[in-house]
Structure formats: structure tokens, C-alpha cells
Structure 1
Amino acid sequence: MADKRILLIIGGGIAAYKSLELIRELSRRSIATRCILTAAGSEFVTAMSAAALSGDTVYTDLFSLTDEAEMGHIELSRSADLVVVAPATADLIGKLANGLANDLASTTLLATDKPVLIAPAMNVRMWEHTAVQRNIALLDADGVHRIGPNEGDMACGEYGPGRMAEPAEIADAIARLLGQTGA
């Protein structure tokens, strides 16, 4: 898998800390990771942490002059074999389902011609909301791959579906989508 690369979009939510362990797990499997960190994601993890673990630049801004002079969101969307959104927040899910693009993450998702895997993570009430379920149904119909969410304790103190899948589970799903045998 040494020649395989994913683009990891790290959304804003307490589960963002798991994205760092996902980068480590993918590295152990010889799958390279390049990251986009959303503004909300940067409230939970730092670009420096993601860059140190991935060994690559972390992208944050749609309007960065150096990156966008070369149409960075187009290049980012096509330089990976798979685009992964973890955590996939209700906001990112809604943007992808409805074709909205107002930041680097959502613009890249619309510009990609590669498979997309989302790992939803949100409060149980948010997950069960009709709007989120409608958006999930749209993404399912569009062929977007999904892992989770899992059921369990949440940071807010509630219990139910909404926990992001564990990094090893997500890595297994990535390996399957990249055609790695034995995953």
C-alpha cells in the first residue's frame, strides 16, 4: 500500500482527536495521509500535530495565495486515491449532501472524482435528526461510503448512536476501499 494516499478531512468535533490516531494507524499500514483541517477542526486538534504525524503539509484555507494559485483544492481532490472525512460532522455531511462549497474541505469534496468515505460523529440527537438522516440518505444514494457511527457514551454525557468509529475500524474500511487484502 506504499503507493496509496488518502486525503483526510478533519472536521470540527470532539472526535477530531481520533483523527490523529487514524493517521498513525494508516502510517503503520503504509498508507500515506495528507490532511485538510477545517476551521472548526482546528478548535480540537492542531495543524502542527496532524503535520507531524502525517509527515505532510496540512491545508486549512481555501484562499491561501500559494496553494490556490495552483488551484490547490482541485489538486488536493485528485492527488489521493480516497477522500476520508473523519469526523464527519452534521455540517460537513449537510454541505456534501447538498453541494455546498464555502471552505477548503467542502470545495475539495465537490471537486473530487475519487471515492469518499465518511465517519460520522455527533450527538445522538443530532444524528437522529430528520435533516441529518435525509442528508445521509442522499449521500448513500450518491454512493458515498460510510463507517459508523457507533453506539456508546458521548462526550456530552449521553449514550446512543453518534460516536465516531474507532481509528482501527476506519483504517480497515480504508484498506478495503483501497483494495488491500486481509483487511
Structure 2
Amino acid sequence: MSVAEPRKIVLFRHAKADWPQVDDHDRPLAERGRMDAAVAGRKLADSGTTFDLALVSTAARTRETWKLAVHELAHRPKTLYEERIYEASPGELIAVLNETPDDVQNAVLVGHNPGVHGLADILAGAAEGDARDRMRRRGFPAAAFAVLTFTGSWKTLEPGTATLLDYWAPSE
């Protein structure tokens, strides 16, 4: 693929987690989270975007979110479980994305707040329609995702270089 072709990145927050007496990294999804993860997967499938790569935090709740969401997609992308996504800042997430091979056109990153929401905010130098307003109004609740596009190599992805195309969050 040419670096001149637009790329898409979906920033996907894990679905609602349960709070059992386990280490934070090992927290599973709550029942509502399991339902919302599948709904988010259907919304991603409805977008018609084919993902080449999924970058997923190693935390149990992100892995479970992705497992339920990817089941709804027509094409299962290559999935990399990346420990650096857990508790990552927006800058750390950009560093992970900058390592994406240029043959990847569309990617999804499944992570945590506040990093995922912060990353969506700082990458979006522009927005289409009311996507930014909806994201600001709703925040970035569990199972929400933002769809951004940019042109260039993954190495050139930095604050302000993307356009926020869409934002979705489950109903409260």
C-alpha cells in the first residue's frame, strides 16, 4: 500500500469491567461489558472497514473485549497483544502506533482510559460533522470508540495529524 493512501485507526476503550478481588490487570468484563463489546463489534462491522491489525492491551478486560468484538467482524485481523498499551499515556500510545508496519492500512487499538480518550483528542486536528462534539459530551465511556483517518506513514502519526471521522459509545 502507498503511504499516500488514507489510513484508519480505531481507538477502542475496553468494555465495562467487573471489580472482583483480583489484580487490576486481571479484571474480567462485567455482564454488561460482554454485551457492549459484542455491540461495539457489530458497529465496527457495519462501518465496512477491514482491519489489518489489532493492537490490544494485555489486560484481561481488553483481551476479552477484543475477543467478543472481533467475532462480529467479517475478517479477523492479525492481533498483537502489547503490554505497553496497559496504563499508557497518549504519547506512549503514539509510540506504539508509530511502530506499525506501513503495509498496514487500517488498525484498531484496544486500550484503557484516560490514554485512549486523550489520544483521540490530541490526534484529531480536524473532525467531520458532530463527532468531536459527541465525544466531548459523552466522554469516552467503556466500549466507546473513535474512528480517525490520516495520510502518510505510521511513523508520521503525531498530534493534530488525523481527522476524527466518527465516534460511538453504547447507550447508558
TM over 0.5: no
More helix as a share of residues: 1
Query: Which structure ranks higher in relative contact order (CA pairs < 8 Å, sequence separation ≥ 6)?
Result: 2
Q: Which TM-score band (shorter chain)? A: 0.3 to 0.5
More strand as a share of residues: 2
- Return the TM-score normalized by structure 1: 0.37
